[in-house]
Chain A
Amino acid sequence: MRIEIFNRYRSIAALCICSFLVLTCPVTADAAKSGGREAEGEVTLRVCNWEEYIDLGDWDEEETIDLDSGDIIGENTMTEDFTQWYYETYGIRVKVEYSTFGTNEDLYNMLTLGDTYDLVCPSEYMIMKLMTEDQLVPLSEGFFDDSDQNNYYSNGVSPYIREIFEKNEIGGRPWADYAAGYMWGITGIVYNPGLVSEEDASSWKILNDPDYKRQVTIKDNVRDSYFAAVGAIKSELLNSEEFKNDPDYQKRLEEEMNDTSRETIAGAQEYLQDVKNNAYSFETDSGKADMVTGKVAANLQWSGDAVYTMDQADEDDFPLAFAVPSESTNIYFDGWVMLKNGIGEDAAKQHAAEAFINFNSRPDNVIRNMYYVGYTSVISGGEDMRIFEYADWCYGAEEDEEEVSEYDLGYFFSEGDEEAYVITAPSDQVYRQLFAQYPTQEAISRSSIMVCFDEDQTREINQMWINVRCCNIYDIPVWVWIFAGASVCVLAVFGIRKMRR
């Protein structure tokens, strides 16, 4: 009997192995096939980007962006257009396998689990993490060759962004060596001006302000919440004249905002616990809709989403506004990086990957992506004025507008202080979409990057977050224990009586 069972198990096991082999066979065959195709000159590029973060085409006729310099419309997806452009420009066929991820952490977990991509678009702190772990392929020298007119990135990236990418180093190498920016933004507060004053919205302290009890949402995200908490608990210092006038202001600000000392983490925990008891909720994706439907009065938001939220609300004639906290704001970047385990030594692939970045940096494509996604591109266009023209097209005042303000974007679009980059916008735009899309230099001056914390710091901050979000067993009220104990007793008595019978 036992032997029979054993035999049966053995045959099942054998069959399992066989079927496993059968299942894996097509995969290897497929790999061999694609290798064969590559030999014929077709390159496969595996791109992984945020969800809804690139133009997927199929616009309606009336969505055409009619700039003076010509119409722009997204007919095909950006990847289709890239494939065609690449063939026309370089005579090589490229196949783009496009996939998406939800959060930086998801992407990292996908990479750890063995998914291979050639080109990915994480945020700056994830880029820093990948750089530290030596997972990235540096951008080639050719990519930075300004004389090549197809190098749209190098020729078009905003001088302001270029400086940040060159200034920030990790392990002695600047970000710019490995990463090409895509979109950028800051964190701030979207608020309903009917209920919240601009002054209140301009501080991280609004999150636990009892005046707005259960009316403010915050992001369900450790990093954004931690940044806001640090800003709030250090509010006094950060707002002091002395601190703001420090010659080393920028450096000191970044140090303060990236402070992970015991006391700061403990302070942040206390603050966030307070926020949990005061705010409407920690939201993952509902914040935008709740803002538009008026469920909440203010909402911690990324500037790109803030633009989207305000656009949506405008459709219902429900004006919302955007404020950048006076303490500090978190400036963030999403950028393209090439992965070692995808690209490897494959020069053809790397060329295609860099061309993909360049194609997405071509001004008309930048406008398509910006229009479709709502975030702000790092590209200012260089000599090409179309991106500024687009900003003006979006936010510039009509001729019959009564109240207008001059809105200077020189810091983003030009290296010198040229007056060419001033938008004459309706006055309210200074607090609204235009402000979120292209914050003023004044707002940007108090922005701080949030670095990638090391393993110990990350662990402590995550623990802090769990402490905030979890129900502590010591906080469970006594009556709950008594009630639970009583119900268990009743059930036990009932059960025993039943068994006796």
Chain B
Amino acid sequence: MHRHTFSRKYLGIPYAVFLLLFVVAPLVVLIYYAFTNGQGEFTAQNLTGFFSDPNTLGTLCYSFGIAMVTTAVCLLLAYPLAFILATSKLKGKSVIVLIFIMPMWINFSLRITALKEILTWLEGNLAYHPFLNTVLGMSYDFLPFMILPIYTTISKLDGALLEAARDLGAGELQAFLRVTLPLSLPGIMSGVSMVFLPAMTNYVVLDMLYNSTYIMGSLIGSYFAAYNWNGGSMIALILLGIICLFTLLTGGAEEENTRGGALL
């Protein structure tokens, strides 16, 4: 007789159902639309069309540009801050971290609207610097996502490693370059992927700051508004592919670095 017993793996069932309904099924639909034409026949034309159209390729480059600059700005702002916060012996440290994280609790469109007013006050007419404004807006929006992971990794660093480095004759700078920086790479990587990917598609910031050039998100939207679901799905799929590739690359680096850290 086989008795039905409750086993722990049943706890995974809701998640499996969730994944199937909200991840796998939409993905299947997406792939179906991407590789069919309006009549439902199989075609690879959407794919070749994407890579032969100077507009879509240009948009991809433009989105990349915005995402890259945004990520760089975030990193340059976030790393020193996270480093100082994590290594200082300040008393109200957590309060300062909180101040930087707090904007995340406020609706982002509200924050961008406020930023818009400040930038208008500074620049006079926003329309002259669409790229700059977009990068500023996105950096403001995504900065907490960069600070948090870096701060966490640095504050978890084993202080003994730094002491060892100094004992072995390394100066402040050398200790930082050889020990702290490599060991905080995983934090940097997860920060980068949390900022870079949304920055490629977040067209709301773009719209609100009067940038009239499409990025990937708005391009997909325009395809759907023109009832071209197939073309739009293909762009979404390509974007997904790029993101996967990106995650694989950074993921690989992360793994290597943790190994490197263990060796140190």
Residues of A that sit less than 8 Å from B by CB: 8, 12, 15-16, 19-20, 103, 105, 108-109, 112, 214-215, 220, 222, 276, 279-284, 286, 295, 458-459, 462, 465-467, 469-476, 480, 499
**A residues near B213, Cβ cutoff 8 Å:** 276, 469-471
Q: Are B13 and A466 in contact (CB under 8 A)?
A: no
Q: Are A108 and B227 in contact (CB under 8 A)?
A: yes
Q: Residue B214 contacts which of A8, A222, A471, A475 (CB distance < 8 angstroms)?
A: A471
The number of A-B residue pairs with CB atoms under 8 Å apart is 98
User: What is the distance, in angstroms, from A12's C-beta to the closest C-beta of chain B?
Assistant: 5
Q: Residue B54 contacts which of A19, A295, A465, A472 (CB distance < 8 angstroms)?
A: A472
User: What is the distance, in angstroms, from A486's C-beta to the closest C-beta of chain B?
Assistant: 13
Q: Report the bound CA distance from A295 to B127 in whole Å.
A: 10
Q: Residue B222 contacts which of A16, A280, A458, A469 (CB distance < 8 angstroms)?
A: A469
Q: Report the bound CA distance from A108 to B213 in whole Å.
A: 26
11 contacts between A and B (CB under 8 A): A109-B227, A112-B227, A220-B207, A276-B212, A283-B207, A295-B120, A470-B55, A471-B55, A473-B55, A474-B58, A480-B65
**A residues near B214, Cβ cutoff 8 Å:** 466, 469-471
Q: Which residue of A lies closest to B204 (CB)?
A: A284
User: What is the distance, in angstroms, from A265's C-beta to the closest C-beta of chain B?
Assistant: 14
**A residues near B88, Cβ cutoff 8 Å:** none
Known: A284-B207, A286-B208. A471 touches B227 (CB 8 A): no
Q: Report the bound CA distance from A8 to B10 in whole Å.
A: 10
Q: Report the bound CA distance from A115 to B46 in whole Å.
A: 27
Q: Are A15 and B16 in contact (CB under 8 A)?
A: yes
**B residues near A467, Cβ cutoff 8 Å:** 55
Q: Are B59 and A470 in contact (CB under 8 A)?
A: yes
Q: Report the bound CA distance from A293 to B204 in whole Å.
A: 21
User: What is the distance, in angstroms, from A121's C-beta to the closest C-beta of chain B?
Assistant: 19
Q: Are B120 and A470 in contact (CB under 8 A)?
A: no
Q: Residue A281 contacts which of B16, B56, B62, B127 (CB distance < 8 angstroms)?
A: B127
User: What is the distance, in angstroms, from B121's C-beta to the closest C-beta of chain A?
Assistant: 11
Within 8 A of A (CB), among B115-174: 120, 125-128
User: B175-193, CB under 8 A of A: which get 1 and which 0?
Assistant: 0000000000000000000
**A residues near B9, Cβ cutoff 8 Å:** 8
Q: How many residues of B contact A (CB 8 A)?
A: 36
Known: A282-B212, A480-B65. A470 touches B219 (CB 8 A): yes
**What are the 5 closest A-B residue pairs judged by CB atoms, nearest first?**
A281-B210, A473-B58, A470-B55, A214-B127, A471-B62
**A residues near B59, Cβ cutoff 8 Å:** 470-471
B76 adjacent to chain A (CB < 8 Å): no
Q: Are B58 and A462 in contact (CB under 8 A)?
A: no
**B residues near A499, Cβ cutoff 8 Å:** 256
User: What is the distance, in angstroms, from A73's C-beta to the closest C-beta of chain B?
Assistant: 33
User: What is the distance, in angstroms, from B219's C-beta to the closest C-beta of chain A?
Assistant: 7
**A residues near B57, Cβ cutoff 8 Å:** 473
Known: A458-B226, A473-B57. A466 touches B219 (CB 8 A): yes
Known: A214-B125, A214-B127, A281-B127. A470 touches B58 (CB 8 A): yes
Q: Residue B61 contacts which of A222, A458, A473 (CB distance < 8 angstroms)?
A: A473
User: What is the distance, in angstroms, from A448's C-beta to the closest C-beta of chain B?
Assistant: 23
User: What is the distance, in angstroms, from B90's C-beta to the closest C-beta of chain A?
Assistant: 33
User: What is the distance, in angstroms, from A459's C-beta to the closest C-beta of chain B?
Assistant: 8
B228 adjacent to chain A (CB < 8 Å): yes
B98 adjacent to chain A (CB < 8 Å): no
Q: Which residue of B lies closest to A475 (CB)?
A: B58
B28 adjacent to chain A (CB < 8 Å): no
**A residues near B227, Cβ cutoff 8 Å:** 105, 108-109, 112
**A residues near B225, Cβ cutoff 8 Å:** 103, 105, 222
**A residues near B208, Cβ cutoff 8 Å:** 286
User: B2-26, CB under 8 A of A: which get 1 and which 0?
Assistant: 0000000100010011001100000
Q: Which of A12, A109, A112, A473 counts the most B-chain CB atoms under 10 A from its CB?
A: A473
A sample of 19 more A-B contacts (CB under 8 A), given A222-B226, A470-B62, is A12-B16, A15-B16, A16-B17, A19-B17, A214-B125, A220-B212, A280-B126, A280-B127, A281-B210, A281-B212, A284-B207, A286-B210, A462-B222, A469-B213, A469-B222, A470-B56, A471-B58, A472-B55, A475-B58
Q: Residue A466 contacts which of B20, B62, B126, B222 (CB distance < 8 angstroms)?
A: B222
Q: Which of B62, B210, B213, B256 counts the most A-chain CB atoms under 10 A from its CB?
A: B210
B42 adjacent to chain A (CB < 8 Å): no
**A residues near B20, Cβ cutoff 8 Å:** 16
Q: Which residue of A lies closest to B257 (CB)?
A: A498
Q: Which residue of B lies closest to A9 (CB)?
A: B16
Q: Which residue of A lies closest to B13 (CB)?
A: A15
Q: Which residue of A lies closest to B16 (CB)?
A: A12
**B residues near A105, Cβ cutoff 8 Å:** 224-227
Q: Which of B55, B57, B224 counts the most A-chain CB atoms under 10 A from its CB?
A: B55
**B residues near A476, Cβ cutoff 8 Å:** 58, 61-62
Q: Are A214 and B128 in contact (CB under 8 A)?
A: yes
Q: Residue B212 contacts which of A112, A295, A469, A475 (CB distance < 8 angstroms)?
A: A469
User: What is the distance, in angstroms, from B33's C-beta to the closest C-beta of chain A?
Assistant: 12
**A residues near B65, Cβ cutoff 8 Å:** 480
Q: Are B120 and A462 in contact (CB under 8 A)?
A: no
**A residues near B62, Cβ cutoff 8 Å:** 470-471, 476
**B residues near A220, Cβ cutoff 8 Å:** 207, 212
User: What is the distance, in angstroms, from A268's C-beta to the closest C-beta of chain B?
Assistant: 16
Q: Report the bound CA distance from A253 to B85 in whole Å.
A: 68
Q: Are A16 and B16 in contact (CB under 8 A)?
A: yes
User: What is the distance, in angstroms, from A463's C-beta to the closest C-beta of chain B?
Assistant: 9
Q: Residue B127 contacts which of A108, A279, A471, A480 (CB distance < 8 angstroms)?
A: A279
Known: A281-B210, A467-B55, A474-B54. A109 touches B16 (CB 8 A): no
